[in-house]
Amino acid sequence: MTHQELNALYQERIPAIIPFIHKRSRGDDDLAQEACIAVFEGLKQDPKATNRYLKNRAQWSMTNTTHRGKSVDGRKFRKHPAPEIIYLDQVCTEDGSPLEAILPDPRRNDLEGQVINKIMVETFRGHLTAAEDIYVEMKVYDEWSDCEVRRKTKWTQGRINEMKRNIRDKMDMVFTV
């Protein structure tokens, strides 16, 4: 069967199956598209397939797509890999060891984890003074080095070191149980 014949057969058979697809997909265009692709693939395998067979393929395709979790809120069935641990060279503790930061990837994190992370960060930033908050924003969000922060803010290295100590103490207070 050529591609044109298969396409003509698909166009002939899909109107009988579309109402079923729209009902099962509940208006989700991505699921409806996956179901239509499954119908096309089913016709490619067996051009004389019954409508019930094609509807079953469409239903299973929508179910599998939901379980695979292609959308942001449909990742319930996937295991999340461990977060990356990044060592920050510019910030060291008093004993000289580099400070570790666990940075979760927002695309791999479920909604509950994102909410918890946001609450923890807001709690931490609520404990900071205005200058410390500016420093954290420049370092974390803008990814500036200490030299760039010093140049932009005209703060002395002594003041930056003092803020780092205060920020570490507040991190310990907020993030340790």
Domain total of the chain = 2
The CA-based dihedral angle spanning residues 101, 104, 105, 110, taken in that order and rounded to the nearest 10 degrees: -170
Structure pTM? 0.40
Instruction: Tell me the mean pLDDT in the region 21-46.
Output: 86
- Determine contact, residues 65/78, Cβ cutoff 8 Å: no
- Determine contact, residues 38/58, Cβ cutoff 8 Å: yes
Arithmetic mean of pLDDT over the chain: 77
Quick: pLDDT tens for 72-85. 444 455 555 555 55
Domain of 31 in residue numbering reads as 3-68
Contacts for 89 with CB less than 8 Å, ≥ 6 apart: 98
| 62 and 30 assigned to the same domain | yes
| 113 and 148 assigned to the same domain | yes
Query: Domain with 169 in it: what CATH number?
Result: 1.10.10
Query: Given 68, 94, 115, which residue is the final one in a domain?
Result: 68
Quick: pLDDT tens for 122-145. 888 888 899 998 988 888 778 888
**What pLDDT does residue 74 have?**
47
Q: What percent of the chain stands above pLDDT 90?
A: 5
| 121 and 63 assigned to the same domain | no
Q: Which residue has the higher pLDDT, 52 or 98?
A: 52
